[in-house]
Amino acid sequence: MKLLHLLLLCAPLVECQVRAIPLSDATANLPAQRIGPRDLIAIQVYDSPELTRTVRVGDDGMIRLPMLTQRIKAEGLMPAELEGVVAKALEEESIIVGPFVTITVAEYSSRPISVAGAVRAPLTFQASAPVTLLEALTRAGGLTPEAGSDILISKSQPGPDREPTSLIQRIPVKALIDFADPEANLKLTGGEEVRVPEAGKVFVVGNVKRPGAFSVQDGAETSVLKMLALAEGLAPFAGKQAFIYRREVSGTKHEIPIELSKIMQRKAPDTPLLANDVLYIPDNHGRRLGLAVLEKLLMFGSTAGATALIYGR
């Protein structure tokens, strides 16, 4: 009998402890970060299900709740800070006394991070939690072989006159990946644009075995001999003189003749090349024509010899 009375006395206490569990435990699946425009937030008022709802923050950073006559500024606040603001508004408008408000972020839409350029799978994702630059590049599938030597990270921020200005940071790929420099592995919180420019290219055309465009990293030295090595060497009828076509920053074009045969014979220094140069190795028409005549003479001689042999027999 005493045991029954004891259980009856403890029942309200057990019930209070169970009901005191925050309702947000079931929905707190995203890390708490400062709220921004277009974020989706879940507002729960303890013991008042009619006041519980999900609202999206407006582009101006404000939210409007049907139970309140005033709008509430949510942008820039942590969920815990917004809980106090909503609770104070509910009490000021005499909607509920001593409200217990819980706010969780159901969806972040104000923290986009875009990764574009020389990556395998360009994408844009929401930073529900801070991510590193290396993690963002991994989500994009990593860098392609055409990637340049630098990564550009831009983010808008208010300027002195409150107008948005773009801040651009340049991160060397070698520092981030080869040297594993922790300072190069920036932390991204949302609103950043990560761009990976492609490396410059030198175009080799004409009498080479494998014409094509070959990547040149910014600041790396390249030359005619290096490009010929990538193009697998000269074709049989390459001319003695080659040409470099170069476009300057001002837009003007230049044709630079080089003595290719002297460079190959080590009688002239190797010529440096810049990104976007076109190396053209023309045909040696005289040599090709002479060889064609020689082939015809040999063919005629072989036919005549075979005919004489047949008729002689």
- Looking at per-residue pLDDT, the higher value among 32 and 289 belongs to 32
Instruction: Say which residues have a Cβ less than 8 Å from residue 66's Cβ, sequence separation at least 6.
Output: 53
Kindly report whether the global pTM for this prediction surpasses the value 0.75. no
Q: What percent of the chain has pLDDT over 90?
A: 53
Query: % helix / strand / coil in the chain, to the nearest 5?
Result: 30, 35, 40
pLDDT band at 4 (very low <50, low <70, confident <90, very high): very low
Structural contact between residues 35 and 57, judged by C-beta atoms closer than 8 angstroms: yes
Name the residue ranges covered by the structural domains of the chain. Answer: 19-107, 112-196, 200-282
Pairwise CA distance, residues 273 & 204, whole Å:
11
pLDDT mean over 155-179: 84
Mean pLDDT of the chain: 82
pLDDT of 190 over the 60 cut? yes
pLDDT band at 1 (very low <50, low <70, confident <90, very high): very low
**CA torsion, ordered 109, 141, 116, 251, to nearest 10 deg:** 180
pLDDT band at 280 (very low <50, low <70, confident <90, very high): very high
The dihedral sign for the CA sequence 14, 19, 21, 27: positive
pLDDT mean over 282-299: 58
Which residues are registered as beta bridge partners of 90? none
CATH homologous superfamily, domain 19-107: wza like domain (3.30.1950.10)
pLDDT digits (tens, 9 = 90+) for 36-46: 999 999 999 99
Q: What is the pLDDT of residue 221?
A: 76
Q: What is the pLDDT of residue 29?
A: 59
pLDDT of 154 over the 90 cut? yes
Q: What is the pLDDT of residue 8?
A: 42
Asked if 112-196 and 200-282 have one fold, the answer is yes
Amino acid at 180: A
CA-wise closest residue to 212 among 186, 187, 232, 192: 232
Q: Which of 9-23, 27-41, 81-95, 245-259 has the lowest mean pLDDT?
A: 9-23
Domain 200-282, CATH: 3.10.560.10
DSSP 37-67: TT-EEEEEETT-GGG-EEEE--TTSEEE-TT
> Going along the chain, which residue ranges are E strands?
40-45, 53-56, 62-64, 71-73, 101-107, 112-117, 123-126, 131-132, 150-158, 164-172, 187-188, 192-196, 200-206, 212-216, 222-223, 241-247, 253-259, 272-273, 278-281
pLDDT of 107 over the 60 cut? yes
CATH homologous superfamily, domain 112-196: Outer membrane lipoprotein wza domain like (3.10.560.10)
pLDDT of 10 over the 50 cut? no
Antiparallel, parallel or unpaired: β 222-223 and 272-273 = antiparallel
pLDDT digits (tens, 9 = 90+) for 219-274: 667 899 999 999 999 988 888 899 999 988 788 888 999 999 999 999 999 999 98
